Structure 1
Amino acid sequence: MSTELLLGIITFFTSTIAGIVGLGGGMILIAVLPSFLPVNAIVPVHGLTQMSSNLSRAVFGWKDVKVEVIPKFLIGSILGVSFFATILYFISLTYVPLFIGLYILFSLWSDKFNKKIERFESYYLVGFLQSGLSLIVGATGPIATTLLVKDYNDKHVVVSTAAALKSITHTLKVITFIFFGFVFFDYLGILVAMIIGAVIGSWAGTKLRDKIDGKKFILVLKILLSLMAIKLIVSLFI
């Protein structure tokens, strides 16, 4: 089986997972890519593929996207990417995953923490952190998803709006890599196969999501977010 076909199939399954629960697919995919791509190509190829996956998922669920949060997130994202692209080579961001992980855990499960932080939480700040840090830290998608889970109880709203926001993050990431000189055309065959797999997977995941109970879905999503947060924290020390 060719590399292109195999990566297309893998991306289909990871995109289907993300289409059902709203996250997880990107983390699985980036864990697989080092077996197929050189180190310098992993994050750019992953970014373009995830842009396609999230954008298609948002399009398939466009009726459920909370459009009012997008301008705030976009402004924050542009500022975040500009800021972190500028300071990328001057500061150590070793412990950023630790703070992301702790924020997710406390935000999901601590009412006391939420009361203290709610005045600081906004989609401007979430966009700034999620998109800016995505240039360095792999798993920033849960930042926006965590806030959406708190603001909305509808599974379709959470997944579709998170997809719209993450598509902004990955689009800005791709533009940044182009600016820094990465040549996506060198991986055209792989990218075409992965993008096709991502779009079909988004469609399949959107259809399968209807079969999940709403309340159970939110609980499962909170548990998955918590596991991802714990993985971020533990990975710093192991």
Structure 2
Amino acid sequence: MDEIVLGLITFFTSTVAGVVGLGGGMMLIAILPSFLPLNALIPVHGLTQMSSNLSRAVFGYKYVKLETIPKFLLGSICGIALFASILYFISLEFVPLFIGIYILLSLWSKKFNEKIKRYESYFLAGFFQTGLSIVVGATGPLTMTLLLKDYEDKHIVVATGAALMSITHTLKVFVFMFFGFVFFDYLGVLIAMIIGAVTGSYVGTKLRDKIEGKKFVLLLKVLLSALAVKLIIGLLW
């Protein structure tokens, strides 16, 4: 029964992500503690999100900006290698706070954007998004915020973001396999959730055409802002 429920939930969250590019993964990781033990949360979530993002990128392959991938991939490899090696020696308690503040300033402050632009890059986005992803569930907005500045086309933003996030989740899955997590123990749940994720990506891709460009950008900004505020309040509370 849990498998069917999780499959339907993943379908819904993946559809949301297929339409606006993100948010589905955050909703899913907030729901999973009701169904899975704590040690399985991030690995199962990572493999499911890898399926969701990879399928979303495949369905929108014509819009993926390939030039963003090499730098992002290099940054991701460096980031996950560093954070995986020092995971037990550092405190990441305030990372969500900094991510939330960065997103809000990046979306709404022109002065901040003028100053930060010289430092922003897909290498750094990959480094922090993928490195922090093994402990922080809200790193996707880092890349989406950058893509939203660089590209106006909603299909490019969503498809390229999905391609980059699939790199993040793929590397994360390999890290958990290296540390000994046995995905086979959750085979039934994973099959149901992967089917839901891929189906949701397809439906979300089709529904995206129903949203006009300017409304899409505003919706994405509002959703990113809401997620950022949630991060900040969640930590300070």
Range of TM-score over shorter length: over 0.9
Deviations 1:160-180 (A, max 9, x none): 000000000000000000000
Deviations 1:170-196 (A, max 9, x none): 000000000000000000010001000
Unpaired runs of 5+ residues, structure 2, are none
Within a 5 Å distance, the mapping from 1:83-162 to structure 2 comes to: 83-162=82-161
Q: Distance in 1 between matches of 2:162 and 2:217?
A: 16
1:80 aligns with 79
2:27 aligns with 28
Deviation at 1:229, TM superposition (A): 0.7
CA RMSD of aligned residues (A): 0.5
Q: Structure 2 length normalisation: TM-score?
A: 0.99
The yes-or-no answer on 1:200 pairing with 2:216 is no
2:232 aligns with 233
Within a 5 Å distance, the mapping from 1:161-180 to structure 2 comes to: 161-180=160-179
Aligned residue type for 1:220? L
Aligned residue type for 2:66? V
Deviation at 1:95, TM superposition (A): 0.6
Q: Distance in 2 between matches of 1:32 and 1:121?
A: 32
Q: Distance in 1 between matches of 2:47 and 2:234?
A: 25
Aligned residue type for 2:12? F
Deviation at 1:145, TM superposition (A): 0.2
Deviations 1:35-55 (A, max 9, x none): 111110011000000000000
Q: Distance in 2 between matches of 1:55 and 1:9?
A: 19
Deviations 1:106-128 (A, max 9, x none): 11111111111111000000000
Q: Distance in 2 between matches of 1:104 and 1:31?
A: 20
Q: Distance in 1 between matches of 2:55 and 2:78?
A: 25
The yes-or-no answer on 1:39 pairing with 2:44 is no
User: Percent of aligned pairs with the same residue?
Assistant: 73
Deviation at 1:6, TM superposition (A): 1.0
Q: Distance in 1 between matches of 2:11 and 2:100?
A: 27
Q: Structure 1 length normalisation: TM-score?
A: 0.99
Q: Distance in 2 between matches of 1:200 and 1:81?
A: 29
Paired residues, number: 237
User: Tell me, what secondary structure is at the counterpart of 2:88?
Assistant: coil
Aligned residue type for 2:220? L
User: Tell me, what secondary structure is at the counterpart of 1:193?
Assistant: helix
Q: Distance in 1 between matches of 2:211 and 2:157?
A: 14
User: Tell me, what secondary structure is at the counterpart of 2:11?
Assistant: helix
Q: Distance in 1 between matches of 2:90 and 2:3?
A: 37
Q: Distance in 2 between matches of 1:28 and 1:222?
A: 17
Q: Distance in 2 between matches of 1:181 and 1:3?
A: 24
Deviation at 1:88, TM superposition (A): 0.3
1:223 aligns with 222
State the 4+ residue runs in structure 1 displaced beyond 4 angstroms: none
Aligned residue type for 1:232? L
2:54 aligns with 55
Unpaired runs of 5+ residues, structure 1, are none
User: Tell me, what secondary structure is at the counterpart of 2:188?
Assistant: helix
Aligned residue type for 2:86? I
